[in-house]
Amino acid sequence: MEDALRSLEIEKSVHHDEDAKDIADRIYDENVVASALAISHLAIHSPNEKIRMDAAKYVTERVMGRIGDEKATEGDNPLEKLLADILEQQ
């Protein structure tokens, strides 16, 4: 934990123009591929059945959407509806 805190202090000193949110967003962006790989690895190889299930469910929902949630169909986009309403009024 101490190493992580020291690394964060270095991040702050190197990127002094960034606030805490900017630093966190950059760190997440830089590590998103490794995180996705780690979750996928847990879904397949975790010795704990609950962790495997939770990770598999997370990956599936990220790719396919949650069960019961309808996918947006053509015409469901609120911006498209607004544009269509504006064009109708002209």
CA distances from 36 to 7, 30, 42, 52, 73 (A): 22, 12, 10, 14, 27
User: Which pLDDT belongs to residue 73?
Assistant: 59
pTM above 0.85, yes or no: no
The pLDDT of residue 43: 96
Q: Per-domain residue ranges for the chain?
A: 2-89
Q: For the chain (length 90 residues), average pLDDT per consecutive 10?
A: 87 86 91 95 97 95 81 65 79
**Tokens (6 digits) for 43:** 């879904």
Residue 45: its pLDDT value, please?
A: 97
pLDDT at 28: 93
